[in-house]
Amino acid sequence: MTEQRHFSLGESLNRQRGMSYWGWLFVLAIFGFGLTIVSKMGPAYIDAHYVEEGLQTLSEIDNVRELSNSEIKRELDRYFTINNVRGEPTKAVKIIRGADSTLVSINYELRQPLFKNVDVVMKFDKQLNTAKPELCCEPLVDLEQFRRDDR
């Protein structure tokens, strides 16, 4: 003979209790950790986006090759001021002139404290080569070859 089990409504609800206190605490901890990371790293990536847009705007200027270094920096500074980009990106502008092009490079590194003694290091390298403005913002040239040995 088969044994039939009938569950009462109270017994069924008892089995479907949901997440425990510790389960909810774990979910909230993961959510809080993600929110902390986004709030610490997000502004750096927003600034990097505006740096890239600034270089693209600079590439649209017809005579950017004829501009002096200070004029190029002034144009970028104006764009950075309007978009509230401060700190490292504004100090890291380097301009290298070649025979047939000008290279504008913004290469910088940010260190953001995350928790107590844990930091996140973010590196950004954006370049504009006036000979190839359609390839704007991706690093095309390794700038180490242009560094002078000042010893």
Secondary structure in 3-state letters for 11-73: HHHHHCCCCCHHHHHHHHHHHHHHHHHHHHHHHHHHHHHHHHHHHHHHHCCCCHHHCCHHHHH
Query: How is the chain split into domains, by residue range?
Result: 20-146
Question: Looking at the whole model, is its pTM more than 0.95?
Answer: no
Per-residue pLDDT, 106: 93
At residue 151, the pLDDT reads 40
pLDDT along the chain (151 residues), means of 10: 58 69 93 94 94 92 88 93 90 88 91 92 92 82 56 40
